[in-house]
Structures are given as structure tokens and as C-alpha cells.
Amino acid sequence: ISSVGAGSCLETLEKGKPLVIVINEKLMNNHQLELAKQLHRDGHVLYCNCSTLVETLQSMDLSTLKPFPPGQPEKFALFLDKVVGFQ
């Protein structure tokens, strides 16, 4: 169970752990909802808010979650090399 901070979510998912993320609806116009919805649409997390956390925990089926694909930082490095003219 975690907040919807991008770092917290990605760290947990990269370790192959199931994740339930809890949105803080009062934080910066509810910007966390975008990330939560996308990760949920992709099948990687369950999400809720504080008022629905207990219900979510009671009804969740973690076997429906898909593994998060491993990162590919080398692709970004190649892109960056091209942009700055190293390639």
C-alpha cells in the first residue's frame, strides 16, 4: 500500500510487488489520479482513496495484476545521444 508518488509506485512495481495505491484527493488538484488511472488501466495496480481503502482491501484480487515490464534506460540514453549530437 502506497501513496501515488511516481517514485514509490515505480520502485514497488519494478521489484515485482503487488501494489494498492491510495490517492490523496486534496493534493494539487488531484494530480495523482492521472498516474493511478493509467497504471490501473495497464493492469499493474489497484487504486482507491482513503474512504474506500478498507473496501478495496476486502475485495481485491491481486492475481489479476500484470507484472510491470522492466525499464529500458538504454533507449533513453540512445535518444539523448542523438539529441545532443553524440551519434
Instruction: Please report the pLDDT score of residue 72 as a whole number.
Output: 87
If phi > 0 it is left, if psi is from -120 to 50 it is alpha, else beta; for residue 15 that is alpha
Helix (H) or strand (E) holding 47: strand 46-49
Return the domain boundaries, the chain. 6-84
Check residue 26 and give its pLDDT.
76
Residue type, 16: G
- Rounded average pLDDT per 10-residue block, the chain, 87 residues: 92 95 80 90 96 96 95 90 88
